Structure 1
């Protein structure tokens, strides 16, 4: 299903996006060496509930997962990159952490992810990998607008990632979003320009470039959810929800103080 939002529902999407961004910014600010992943999950739950919003994850039960996700945020550490299920782990100096969050307010969802390094140790390779996903995300957003095609976004993202030297997995990527978290169209992280669905004003897309340092192959953790690099290498993931407008694309998942 592909949804086109009217102005009323687009306003709700903006509320959801700002809440997602605010929560992620708060969690990043509170995360330090020794922070437990389960504490991050509890903090996320409290902020979602306090805002009167709904988690898109806690009851999420797709075919590729093992039962309901059961948590309020994805926390992926080092070699984990997607669907990281929080567990009893205290973060160490130099850990690369990805936080991925989706919430719904007023029946419309927004989704975003950030990767950052915990503590004072900042491994150069990890910093570069995070930067590549952020640049790829910016390129994908710049390629989005009315009349553009999904392939234009995929090509822009893939060009940045491949030029940075990273293998690209196409099993998981960006997606449409609206009344539910995951919708059509799928937005692969590489592709051919001029192909695929033509973008229209009112369409919401969650764009999410992610990479693994030296492989494109994923393995599923014993928890039935967390996806890790097959080689144990580090990973990074950046994501924004955008709305296609009459003259381009608006980023919905910016913290409120950063919104224009």
Structure 2
């Protein structure tokens, strides 16, 4: 706002105004000279919100938090989103989408670059139009990617096959136990039953590890163990070296891929 005197920032207030009030108080302390150029709108219909995105020159990807559904809505409309990728997944979603489309123009590496690019998009109509055309011509790579669907199919098929094989093993063990008439058969069945129970414990443990304790539904994964999920994005580390180079939290942690809960 200080760099571009013509700039205006439009934000949507939350339903109960608590976040809005907290932000206004913070803004008034941080940059009181330009706070009057931040405009707050009430919640609106989806159609009105999409129109707002369409008439906006640019959108600012919230640092650390990420844009969520708004990122995808912007790609569908073609409005450029300036993004400064965070260290962890929740703030790297737009980076993944841009990489998927092969568009790197709106990815920056510092706050100064973030400000400069946002101001340039707002002031340079030709540059802005070029970005819109790029996004609209490449957005199908995000919205129509069937590889993701195939990966999920493969995961669910393999999970179902595992369950079916365990059921067959359990039925075989039951049959062996009921028909056993000597000591050797009983020892054999006991060994197989123990092995089956071990598999069940491993499966139950895995389900507990991959179920978010906060939302109880979505999958949570260890951030630095790449490849655990069939559904991957370019926001994840692409190699062990890249993962090791990223700053770590002071303890092992799990992050829910949807609600962001850390445990």
Specify the TM-score bucket, using the shorter chain as the normaliser.
under 0.3
Point out the structure with max Rg over C-alpha: 2
Q: What TM-score comes out, normalization by structure 2 length?
A: 0.25
Q: What TM-score comes out, normalization by structure 1 length?
A: 0.25
Higher relative contact order, chain-length normalized (CA < 8 Å, sep 6+):
1
